Amino acid sequence: MPSTSVFTVALSMLFLVSAAAVGPAAAAPTNSDALDQIDVQETEINDANLTAEEIIETHEQRVESLETVSVTIRSNHSSDSYSSSPSTSSMWIDFADEQMRTEHSSEYGDTITVRNESGSVTYDAEDNTVSESEIAFSDMNPAEHGFFGFTVTEQAELTYEGTEELNGTETYRLDADYRTETADTEQDGTIWINAETYMPVQYEISIDSDRYSYESTVQFENLRINETIPDEQFNIDIPDDAEQPDYSTPAFESYDSESELRQNASQSVPEPELPDSYTFDSGYATDGESHASVSLTYTDGEDGSVTVTQYNSTTGTSYFS
């Protein structure tokens, strides 16, 4: 039976792993200091009568209960306007102590970002540069801003297609049939949820229209949850001769009031059509020379939440999640 719940791929994950953020710098751990990560895999499946809605609800409960997470995320995005763009991000997150480390690698370079309760710092070893911002962990808590790359919404009909083994892991496969107001646009999505942990293993999305096409695949590997992460993992060894480029990071502002966000945002703010039970919970807006973004999160007062994010760049490109 199709579920009335749906998921939308959230490109905010890309923003989280690549945005510069800021905080105190200290000694960087070596590779041997990092956690020896292993896949969490179980193949015993006894939930033949599960629905897509129940699977997503259990996933959301698991996310809310997270204390720590370490995971490697491999992404590949392509469209008719640019070629394939692969990237890899290894992340360590301590929700209790509000700190996270991201090691991001792509064709544009390799960076290490640490974000904590004070702010964030990003170090580029190849260029030997460091950049800082005042964006703190609480400003962009990954659990509240599309950490796993998708959010439950009302934009598509989600259907549980049964169990499927993917890369040696038993998963629940969920297919999404998107409802769009544009007749010439087709959107399809698939997500594979680990049948043991209820955490995502992979998701794919494709968008086709008369104006553009887009494809995205994101894989989650070496997932470990609620295991102790050494404090040293959240430090960076910044050389004394590291340069700090003379450029400004995007201004960031968080909001508890939707009216204030709409009044102060420098760009247009999306107006999602949501059930009456959903009300505004929180939001943020960034404003920089090269790009700006705005994000709004709504909740139904219970377990349901919807996050809508819009990004604009100086190239004139806008996209939603």
Look at 23 and 197; give whichever has higher pLDDT.
197
Q: Are residues 147 and 254 in the same domain?
A: no
Q: Are residues 183 and 308 in the same domain?
A: no
Residue 300 inside a domain? The answer is yes
Q: Are residues 293 and 144 in the same domain?
A: no
pLDDT in tens, 174-189: 998 766 555 567 788 8
pLDDT in tens, 293-314: 899 999 887 767 788 888 775 4
* pLDDT (mean) for 247-260: 83
Residue 236 inside a domain? The answer is no
Residue 100 inside a domain? The answer is yes
The residue type found at 203 is Y
Residue 33 inside a domain? The answer is no
Domain that holds residue 55: 1-23+38-228
Q: Are residues 65 and 140 in the same domain?
A: yes
3-state secondary structure of 319: strand
Tally of CB atoms within 10 A around 276? 6
Q: Are residues 175 and 102 in the same domain?
A: yes
pLDDT in tens, 226-236: 999 999 999 99
Residue 294 inside a domain? The answer is yes
Whether this model's pTM surpasses 0.75: no
Residue 78 inside a domain? The answer is yes
CATH number at residue 167: 2.50.20.20
Residue 234 inside a domain? The answer is no
Task: State how many domains the chain has.
Answer: 2
* pLDDT (mean) for 105-129: 92
The single residue listed with the structure tokens 């469209």 is 79
Q: Count CA atoms closer than 13 A to 194's CA, side-chain side.
A: 23
* pLDDT (mean) for 116-131: 92
Q: Are residues 48 and 164 in the same domain?
A: yes
Q: Are residues 277 and 197 in the same domain?
A: no
Please state, in angstroms and rounded to a whole number, the distance separating the CA atoms of residues 125 and 193. Answer: 35
**Is pLDDT of 103 > 80?**
yes
